[in-house]
Structure formats: structure tokens, C-alpha cells
Structure 1
Amino acid sequence: MPDFETKFPYQHVLVLGLAKSGFAAASTLLAHGRNVRVSDLSASNQEELIQILEQKGAEVKLGPQEVELLDGMDVLIKNPGIRYENVIVQTAMERDIPVLTEVELAGLLHKGTLIGITGSNGKTTTTTLAYEMLKESQVSTYVAGNIGTAASEVANKTTEEDRLVLELSSFQLQGIDQFRPHISVMLNIFEAHLDYHHSLENYEQAKANIFRNQDKSDYLVYNAEDERLREIVNEAQATLVPFSGARKLDNGAWYDETHVYFKDEPVAAIKDILLVGGHQLENILAAVAAAKLAGATNEGIQHVLKTFSGVEHRLQYIKHINGRAFYNDSKATNILATSKALSSFDQPTILLAGGLDRGNTFETLVPSMEHVKALIVFGETAEKLRETAYMAGIELIEHAKDVKEAASIAYRISESGDVILLSPACASWDQYRTFEERGDMFVEAVHTLE
């Protein structure tokens, strides 16, 4: 495994953006004897973190960020959410100062088997499944990355015997250099985050970084039915391990009417799987392939599939009220995620959708709206979604100021047997700090309806 002191030769590091990943990066680098300067625009709610870093020897600068921050710096570790148009980032690149994200540190620090999972949709569910499958198989495993705990914080304490499962976003993957998972997973590619990456090609290239440093001794698990992915993985040097929900595979994961298989081996019975939705079977296939490659047992996998009911805010079942079934899919921040959520139900559905306007339209959602009887819109994209409803022949359209009001309207216009589904097809940042905040408001609203 790489030696961190050799592979990370930089002595003077600027960490741009405090947040969770910035704090983890700064703490990790200070522990490894680096000189660390941290810059953040505000100290709001972060006084304790600042005090800890300063006690450890960091130089913390708050307020407006000037290019002088880069003076004397060898490398820039930036928060994934900070865009590359940022003047500090642009100046660093002009000065040939490497610009990395915190997951680069995790890749250099982790001593055991590294599993990286990315895709436009399904990352969190697949990451959680793979982690739980390995854990239930009595394999020492950690989980981190975009899913919760910062990757470097966890990687810094792992051993050669440990597996580390990372959920990785395109924002994180764009900022890597030597990062190399032993097992990488690409679930799907769908037009997303174009406000950040500016083009689909740039987005695809950021995602493809997950396998850039792999060789034949490594594995790349990918969706064999995703046309874009099939083209992208042609560039890979890793051993390809496909998964498919449409056909039998001799070298990957697949399913039929009765079982989920890995290669020719039946791994788990379909009837025992608790998760709902065809797209969840794709996530399960990817997780099974990654977990089996990392040492999971069939018994461990079976236990997880019999008991795992989903991740919060990802097609999360809330409750039934007078025959109506409520689901929270606030994590559906793009059209593909909402399309897959809608495909999970045959019942009449009232869809709650809307949010940040990223400039896209929603025509491609129309084919998935066959069972949608009513649409409740909110946020910046409300009018665009209203037009989409007209295209789909949906006559009952209501406007809500937020998801709390949307839940109330949905209940009022619904009937017994309906599904009421929050699946926004948009990011939350026009009205909410996070998709979790949006989903929590919806869940709380549902619980007040009885």
C-alpha cells in the first residue's frame, strides 16, 4: 500500500472551506506533521472546530478569501462544493498548485481494501447495502465519504484487514490524483450537476475518475444496461464486472424471477427482498457484486436483504393514513431518480415535486407519469413542472408554498388506495439547506395529518 509520507509530499497545505470534510482534512494533515492553513468565509456555528484546529497548530483565517492565501502553499484541499471558478481555485491552477479534495487523502491513508461507489442515483443505498453485507459476513468494514463521516477521518484509523466503503460524488472525484479503489462501482450516468460541471462530458469525466488509476488487478462493477456507462468503461484498465437486470451474466451480477445471482451462483431469493422498486434491484445487484468481491458470504447478504427497508429520504416508507401510503423520496434531486421512484408503484399516485431551477426542463419525466393522477408543485421549478403535467395529460395540478403545505393538499385531494410520493426531481437549495431538511419537513407534516 502507498506510504502517505511519500505519496503526499506537500508540506504546506491550504484547506479551503471548513465544513465536515475540511475539518477532517486539516486534522488529518496536522496529525501527519503538515503545516496547515484553513480558510472559511464565516465562523458561524464553527467556533469549537476552529478552536480545536488552532490548538493543534493550524492557522485559521476567516472572512473574505484573497489570493494571498495561496502564498507559500504547496497544495490546495478544497471543499467539494466550492466551484472551480472560485478565484482561489483558479489562481492555484494558474500557479500549478495541485487542487484536490479530501477523499484523495483517504485513498492514500487507507491500508486495506478500498471500495468506491458512484453514480447519478442510488449511491447511498448501494453503499449502505455493501457495507451491511460485509458487516453481516463478519468482515471488518467501515463506511464513509459522501454518506456521512468524512473519508480521511475513517481511513486514518483502518488496518490492512479492514474494508472501507466510500460513497463518492462527482464533486469529490473531480479533485483526485492518485486515488485508487480496489473495487469501484459505477451505477448509472444521467445528466446532473451541470451547473457545477457545465457539460455532460465534464460530469462523465469526473465520475470516470473513480477507475482512472485502477489496473487489471482491480475491479470495476458497472451497469451493463446503461449505454453511456458501457462507452465510458471502455477506457478502464480494471477487470470489468457487469450487473444487469435484463439478462444472465457469466461474469457479473443478475437476477431472474426467483433469485439474485453472482455469476452462476444463486445468492438470495427474490421473495425475501424487502426493498421495493425495480431500480432497487439494480442497487442490490451492484452491492452484491462489490460485497462478494470483497469477501461477503451469501448468508450475510441474505440477512441484509431480508431486513433492510431502505435509507432515510430515499423512497422511504412513512406510514398509511386512511388507505393512503406516504413515501419520502426527498433525495430524488434529478429526473432519473424521480422516474425510478414513480416506476416503483402501479397504484394511482399523487406526486409532490419541485425545487432549485438548474436550467433543465422536465419533458423526459412524462413517460414515467402514467400512474400520476395529480401533481403538487413548489419551489423555483413549479411552473416548469406544471407545463410537464399538461404534457402528461394530468389535469389536477396544485401549487404549494412548501412541502408541508404540499402534504396537506395531497391528503385532501387523495383517496384510499393512493400513493402520496414526495420525489422532487430537483435539488432543495432554493428553499432548504439540504434534501434531508426538506424530507424531514415532509415526514413531520405527514405525522400531523391524522
Structure 2
Amino acid sequence: MNKKVLILGGGESGCGAAVLAKKKGWNVMLSDAKAIAPARKALLDNLGISYEENGHSKDLLNDCDLIIKSPGIPETAPLIKEAISKNISWEDEIEFAARYASGKTIGITGSNGKTTTTLWTYDIFKRAGLDVGLAGNVGKSWAAQLAEGDKDYWVLELSSFQIDGLRKFAPDVAVLCNITDDHLDRYQYKVENYAKSKLSLLEKQKAGQFAIINADDALTQKYLDRALISSTIFEFSVEKQNTAAKLNADNIEFHLTTNSLIMSIHDLALHGKHNVQNAMAAGIAANLLNIRKEAVRESLQQFEGIPHRLEFVASVHGIEFINDSKATNVNSTWWALESADKPVIWIVGGVDKGNDYSSLVPLVQEKVKSIICLGKENHKILEAFSGVIPTIVETASAKQAVETAYQLGKKGECVLLSPACASFDLFENYEDRGNQFKEAVRSL
């Protein structure tokens, strides 16, 4: 082949694309504006892949046939704009990986619940004994895994950033969990732009493919009317009855085939209205690909959930500590507060992504006793809740936040880390934030 591919970004996505491209005969160059982790440099060195770090050289685009960029790099980045001006094609790792995948694909996106739904769907397929891989926005990059070998099925979590980098690829089954105000800083602070990104995954599908959507989600339904979708749509709902999965009293009912499945919500491994919806989406996806219902039922009853999402950490002198660090937007935190059944000491804050906290005010009034800010810039939180909650404390570390919460708490109350914000002001990522929170709780 000997065509030159330029990989922009030396993280999980970029290095994965570089490994796959090298194996498929491309002439690979990887460039990162920042430092590349030592382990990733060792990987590139072992494979003989050229790379540079801490900046892009001026002649980087010379003789370049294709650019694969990491999803965190926007189309407006100077190097991408220069490539466009020179008619050099670009795409993201998911699109590039799809060239070399032949298995059935399930692509799952949404502002909230996509990781849980992705892992739940993957769990169903594993329990059914199928040859299935897990990739995308969770775990190891799809490209890196395809360099090792293909699978019969791939369950992919897809962020809006990853969807933006797609050209032709569309999953055989697409799941849109919901649309809420998230990542608006990337979308000109316009929810319609963000919604368009999410729905474009469905618009890329063809007749004969399937789309699964949330009939209860107002923004999904609003912008669905503006989308051009050729695939067959199946809906799930906890409020409506004419859907592929519905709630009838306390029972979830799946009615896609004559071999329907009915099970009590009390038998679900994960509780809360949002997890009923996640279970419905995963169950429909499995049903559409003819997974035996015994595997679906077993998974819905036994799936263990994911770290950092409403994760019970410990009970210290009767005070529960819950790690919901993965709640990086307002809607995700809304679900966490909605599911609380004890007075809450709420730890919130971080990098604001254009948040509007007004939707949380009624829940906060009803359920929250005290607020602890965990971030460098808390003015929007203080502005939103100063007249609502009498006790608001600012802290600068997970340890300080946990110790303050413990001092404020009483037996029978709950300390909930549900930040509604990104983590990059004080932490490496939401996992680091959650892990530091858990460590601080265990040190009490």
C-alpha cells in the first residue's frame, strides 16, 4: 500500500489507530501536541512507528493521504483546517477501524446511561456465549483490538465527539439513550447542534438496520422530527404503552417477537428509573439480534454495574458514601438526586461545560441538606443554590470534601459525590476523582 497516514493524538484512540494502520500496511506517522505517555512510546517504538510529541512539525502534511484524529480534537483545530484547505481527507479512529471489521455492530450513544447500557448489552452477549468485543468510548480502542483480530459482534460506546468523526460507518443497531445539555462548549453552546451530532449516528444508517430510542426523552423526540432516518425505529418507555419495551405496573415487557419477555423491575440488578430505561435499551438490542431470552433475563438480573456510577463505597457511623463521579453533566446528577432516599450532603463542582443548574433546584430543595463544592471555580454553583441551601462549603481536594461532609453528616444521611461537571481542574479524569473520593472515605 505504502500510503501515508498521519495520526493526530497519542492517547488510547490515536495509538490504537497507529497499530492497526501499521499492521494493514500504511506508512504511519503519529504526532501529538503534548507529551506521549512512556508506555505508549514504548509500544510505538516496538512496532517501528514514527512519532513526535510536544508539538507538530511544519511539514507534517507533506505527502499525506489520510489523517486520523483523536475525537477530542475538533474540526476547527488549525491542522485540520489546513488539511481541509489542501483536500486531505480526515476521519476518526472509529471510522478507520470500521474498514477492517466485518462483525455485527451495536453502537450506543446518549448524554447519560450510555456506558451502563453498553456494558449491560455486552454482558448479555457474553452470557449468550457469543464471540463479542467491547470498544469505543470504553475500554481498549476498537482499532487496537481489530489489529489482534475481528469478532462476530462488537458493542461500541460512542460519544458525540466520536460520532462527529464518522463518514460512512453506521452500526447495525444504534441506541440513543437520551439527549441533554452536555458538552455545549464544543457545540457553540447550542443544544440543537449537540442533538444534531447525536442523531447523525441514526441518519447514517440504511434501510434494514435498526435504531432504538427513548420515547420518554423530550429532546430526542423534539429533534427526531428534524432528522432523516431510513432505519427501522424501536422505542422504549416507562410512561407510554405502544413501544417495543414498556413498563406495565412493576413489570418490564419486551414485545418485539412472539417470544416476548416479561420481568419485574424489582428483579433488575440495578435500580432507579434510569436503569429501567438502560435495561430496556439493552434488552431490545439483544432481541433484535436474536439473542436467547434466557441470557437477557440472566443479565438483567445479575449485571453488576460500573465503577463511579452510583457506586456504594462505605457506611461510616451510619453515614452512606456514594461515588457518582461519572456524573459529569446536570442531567446525570438529576438522576442521582432523584434516586436518593435519604437526606443528601451533595459534593458538586469541577469544570463547568455550560451548565444550567435551574432544573436541579426543586430536587435540591427536597433532598439536599448541605452542598460541598469541589472545584477551582464555583461561582455558578454558589449563584444557583445560595438562596436554596443554607450550608454551602468550598473545598479544594477530595480528602477535604469527604472530611467536611463527614463532619456535616449524621446517621441515616448520605454523602453523594455527583459533580455535574468535568474533572480536569483538580483531577486527571472522572476515574481519578472517584478513586480519590473512595480513598478518602476509607481513610475516615
TM-score between both structures, scaled by the size of structure 1: 0.92
Q: How big is the shift at 1:99? A: 2.1
The count of residues paired between Structure 1 and Structure 2 equals 437
Asked if 2 retains the 8 angstrom alpha-carbon contact of 1:185 and 1:222, the reply is yes
Residue of structure 2 in register with 1:376 after alignment? 372
1:84 pairs, out of 75, 97, 107, with: 75
**Displacement, 1:182?**
0.1
1:177 equivalent in structure 2 = 167
Aligned Cα root-mean-square deviation (Å): 1.9
Q: Is 2:272 the partner of 1:301?
A: no
1:428 deviates by 0.3
Answer whether contact 1:259 1:266 (CA < 8 A) is retained.
no
In structure 2, the partner of 1:125 is 116
1:352 matches 2:344: no
Q: Which moved more, 1:231-240 or 1:13-22?
A: 231-240
The answer to whether the 8 Å contact 2:29/2:50 transfers is yes
Tell me by how many angstroms 1:318 deviates.
1.2
Instruction: Please list the CA deviations of residues 148-174 of structure 1 after superposition, one character each: whole Å capped at 9, or x if unmatched.
Output: 1101222445557x1100001111110
Match for 2:37 among 27, 45, 59? 45
Displacement of 1:344 in angstroms is: 0.5
1:355 to 1:49, Cα distance in 2 relative to 1, 3 A: closer
In the TM superposition, what is the alpha-carbon distance from 1:194 to its structure 2 partner? 1.7
Measured in 2, the distance between the counterparts of 1:141 and 1:168 equals: 17
Match of 1:131, SS state, is helix
* Counterparts of 1:422 and 1:153, CA distance in 2: 33
1:332 to 327, 334, 339: 327
How far 1:51 sits from its partner (Å)?
4.5
CA contact (8 A) 1:155 1:164 kept: no
Task: Show the counterpart of 1:342.
Answer: 337
Provide, for residues 221-251 of structure 1, a one-character-per-residue CA deviation record: whole Å limited to 9, x for no partner: 011111221243342111001111112234x
- 1:28 alignment partner in structure 2: 20
CA drift of 1:54 comes to: 4.4
Deviation readout 1:390-416 (Å, 9 max, x if unpaired): 34x211222212222111111111111
Q: In the alignment, what sits opposite 2:153? A: 163
| d(CA) in 2 for partners of 1:158, 1:292 | 26
Instruction: Tell me the amino acid that sits aligned with residue 313 of structure 1.
Output: H
Residue 247 of structure 1 pairs with residue 240 of structure 2: yes
Counterpart Cα distance in 2 of 1:322 and 1:32: 58
* Aligned-residue identity in percent: 35
Q: Give the 3 Å change call, closer, same or farther, for CA 208–413 of structure 1 in structure 2.
A: same
Moved more, 175-184 or 354-363: 354-363
Paired position in structure 2 for 1:367: 362
> In 1, are the aligned partners of 2:68 and 2:96 still within 8 Å (CA)?
no
2:248 is the alignment partner of 1:256: yes
Correspondence for 1:70 among 61, 77, 91:
61
Residues of 1 paired with 2:242 and 2:319: CA distance?
39
Q: Distance in 1 between matches of 2:363 and 2:187?
A: 27
Structure 2 gaps, min length 5 = none
1:447, 1:189 → 2: CA distance?
35
Contact 1:268–1:298 (CA<8 Å) still a contact in 2?
Answer: no
TM-score for both structures, normalised by structure 2 = 0.93
SS in 2 for 1:343: helix
Which of 93, 117, 128 matches 1:137?
A: 128
The aligned residue for residue 214 of structure 1 is 205
Give, in whole Å, the separation in 2 of the partners of 1:182 and 1:381: 43
Aligned residues of 2:183 and 2:354 also touching (Cα < 8 A): no
